Amino acid sequence: MAEKYPWNVAWITGASGAICGELARRLADGGVKVAATARPSEALDRIAAAHENITAYPADVLDPGALKETAARIGGELGAIDLVVAGAGMYEPFDIRDVDLAGFGKTMALNVTGVMNTVAAALPAMLARGNGHIALMGSLFGYTGWPGNGGYGASKAAVINLAESLALELHKTGVDITLISPGFVNTQLNASYEGKKHFVMTPERCAKRILKKLPNRPYEIAFPLQVELFLKMVRAAPNGLGRAMIRAFIKAMG
């Protein structure tokens, strides 16, 4: 039996990706009308064609005008958006011996500016209604530096700070913020990462974990627990100790 969810209309950006595509399918199975947004692609078309409750709304999250128009179209065609999942993102390898400045710039633009463009497109209508829920796709690896992760980690650190700021500003407005902070998930997004991936999760398990908690509108959904506790301990530790903890972890895990 499919789960039932408290939302009528969900807008998901990055819907052609593994995690957000799985979120779209599970929400649609639960009766939610899902507006799936990504740049035009066969993957986006397949997701929309696979379920009657999923409608494709192609757009580039780096185009704020297009996103505002998309949000208005969704509201007019499907109804008021009561859940936004800002999930568009990317990973580029980070090599200190040959820094890819273009890749770094694209990572920051998509993972940070794209998220903010999505929020800006949906938030005014939510504030006007006094109700809404916005989930931002962060990462546990935004809590601390990690070898080979300079660009991606920096972008997710910015998303964490953005979520913290929005949570303070939206207090008592009726609009809630949830920061989604997974560890490593086995997707094409991080396929080029050359380091060891510990406690790896499948996109299906990741989406299931997210949707188990998201209806309660928590500030953060973070998993797996072992990675969450370790990285948040590193963040809270003095800098020298935190870096030593990371080096020891990497050595112990091979």
- pLDDT at position 193 is 47
Strands 83-86 and 54-56: unpaired
Cα 235 to chain centroid distance, Å, stands at: 21
Instruction: Report how many domains make up the chain.
Output: 1
Q: Quick check: 25 pLDDT over 80?
A: yes
Q: Quick check: 217 pLDDT over 90?
A: yes
SS3 114: helix
Tell me the pLDDT of the chain averaged across its residues. Answer: 92
In this structure, what CATH number is given to the domain that contains residue 192? 3.40.50.720
**224: preceding bond cis by omega (within 30 degrees):** yes
Q: How far apart are CA 217 and CA 213, in angstroms?
A: 7
Does 78 fall in a domain?
yes
Cβ contact 185:191 at 8 Å: no
Does 117 fall in a domain?
yes
- Domain of residue 163, residue span: 9-229
Does 246 fall in a domain?
no
Q: What is the pLDDT of residues 111-151, one digit of tens each?
A: 999 999 999 999 999 999 999 999 999 999 999 998 888 99
- pLDDT at position 221 is 98
Q: What is the pLDDT of residues 49-107, one digit of tens each?
A: 999 999 999 999 999 999 999 999 999 999 999 999 999 999 888 889 999 999 999 99
Q: What is the mean pLDDT of residues 204-209?
A: 92
Q: What is the mean pLDDT of residues 182-199?
A: 60
Comparing C-alpha atoms, which of 13, 218, 254, 32 is closest to residue 114?
13
Q: What is the mean pLDDT of residues 41-49?
A: 94
- pLDDT at position 199 is 64
State the pTM of this model: 0.91
Does 234 fall in a domain?
no
- pLDDT at position 91 is 87
Q: Quick check: 245 pLDDT over 70?
A: yes
